[in-house]
Amino acid sequence: MSPTTGTFLPPLKTSDVDGIVRALQDDGAAFMPGAISPELAARACKKIDELEHQEGDDHGARGLLDHYKCVFNRDPFWLQFIDPPGLIDAVEKLMGSQCHIIGMSAWRCFPGFNGDKTGPIGMHIDQIFVPMDEELLVTGRVHLPVFIATMHYYLVDITEDLCPTWMIPGSHKSGRGPGKKAAPTGHGGTLGGEETAWNGVEAQPVLCKAGDGMLFRSEVWHAGSANRTDRVRYLLQVHYAQRGVAQRFPPYIKFRHNPVVMEAASERQQRMMGKHRISAYG
Ligand SMILES: O=C(O)CCC(=O)C(=O)O
């Protein structure tokens, strides 16, 4: 039996701004039980059920996955997930006062889902901007700024057989992504053939309750996994980044901000969605 998430990532409140900042620097991730209420999580699942696919979404994986992009642009309901109190202060401390979202994705992973349409989502990083020798990071001689971090809102209870995210705390200090090696054992066959440990720390499943959240930086080694239940996993991702990192809003040149959402948004939410003041380069 795997340890519960709270034992390898200390539980933090969304109001604990300094704690979240420290966790992103030390562990690469901050785990926040009760980031949203179970009622809001249940409402979000219903709203995901009502979404219709648009150009740029992924509804492949042999019908086992619905992956909706740019969810923030569909209904003012989603605005509340952009700048929740506390969390947004930590995000701005980490990524600057002009940071923005570079995406918001909703997932429905159906029974039988195992990663993406081509197979398991093996251990990976989302993006690394400054690959470097791990010694520089491990010894603390270099502190890598946070360029991108994703907030996961787990909208249903996550058990080991319902697609937990697997992650390796501290692995952002490797200065690289995981490499290939012989297929690992001990993960129920849900992880691919990549390195699943770093610096003696094994990948752990994020087991949690509906409404719990995890903010993790883009260099942390992590993986999706399989749905071996008869239930659906619902997940909402909010992708934050420094202002200098491009927003990724499929279908790209055809993307238009929804005027109904922009009208309902606060100034800060509008900035987070891309309404910036002109600065260097534009
Ligand atoms: O499904 C998950 O929990 C992980 C998703 C993931 O790895 C990703 O979006 O990069």
Give the tens place of pLDDT for each residue, 100-114. 999 999 999 999 998
pTM greater than 0.85 (yes/no): yes
- What pLDDT shows up at residue 186? 44
Kindly give the number of the ligand 1 atom that is closest to the alpha carbon of 121: 7
Q: pLDDT (tens digit, 9 = 90+) per residue, 198-250?
A: 999 999 999 999 999 999 999 999 999 999 999 999 999 999 999 999 999 99
CA atoms within a 13 Å half-sphere pointing along the CA-CB vector of 54: 17
Q: Which atom of ligand 1 is nearest to the CA of 237?
A: 9
- Whether the CA torsion 267, 271, 277, 279 is positive or negative: it is positive
Tell me how far apart the alpha carbons of residues 202 and 200 are, in angstroms, rounded to a whole number: 6
Residue 201 buriedness (CB in 10 A; 0-12 / 13-18 / 19+): middle
Q: Dump pLDDT digits (tens) for 239-278.
A: 999 999 999 999 999 999 999 999 999 999 999 999 999 9
With 60 as the cut, is the pLDDT of residue 1 above it? no
**pLDDT score at 119:** 41
CB 116 less than 6 A from any atom of ligand 1: no
pLDDT in tens, 61-102: 668 999 999 999 999 999 999 999 999 999 999 999 999 999
According to the model, what pLDDT value does residue 121 have? 57
CB-based contacts of 255-262 (< 8 A; 24+ apart in sequence): 255/56, 255/70, 255/73, 257/73, 258/73, 258/74, 260/76, 261/72, 261/73, 261/74, 261/75, 261/76, 261/78, 261/79
From ligand 1's centre to the CA of 105, what distance in Å?
10
Protein residue with least CA distance to atom 6, ligand 1? 224
Confidence bin at 181 (pLDDT 50/70/90): low
Burial of 246 (0-12, 13-18, 19+ CB in 10 A): exposed
User: What 3-state DSSP class applies to 238?
Assistant: strand
Q: 66 pairs with which residues across the strands?
A: 108
For residue 233, the ligand 1 atom closest to its alpha carbon is 1
Distance 206 CA to ligand 1 centre (A): 11
Is residue 191 lining ligand 1, measured as CB closer than 6 Å?
Answer: no
Comparing 165 with 187, which gets the higher pLDDT? 165
| Domains by residue range for the chain, with CATH | 5-176+186-271 (2.60.120.620)
Atom in ligand 1 nearest the alpha carbon of residue 166? 3
Burial 30-44, CB ≥16 within 10 A → b, else e:
bbbbbbbeeebbeeb
Average pLDDT of span 160-187: 81
Q: How far is CA 140 from CA 31, 90, 143, 175, 218, in A?
A: 23, 21, 6, 12, 19
Mean pLDDT within 131-150: 95
Indicate if ligand 1 lies below 6 Å from the C-beta of 222: yes
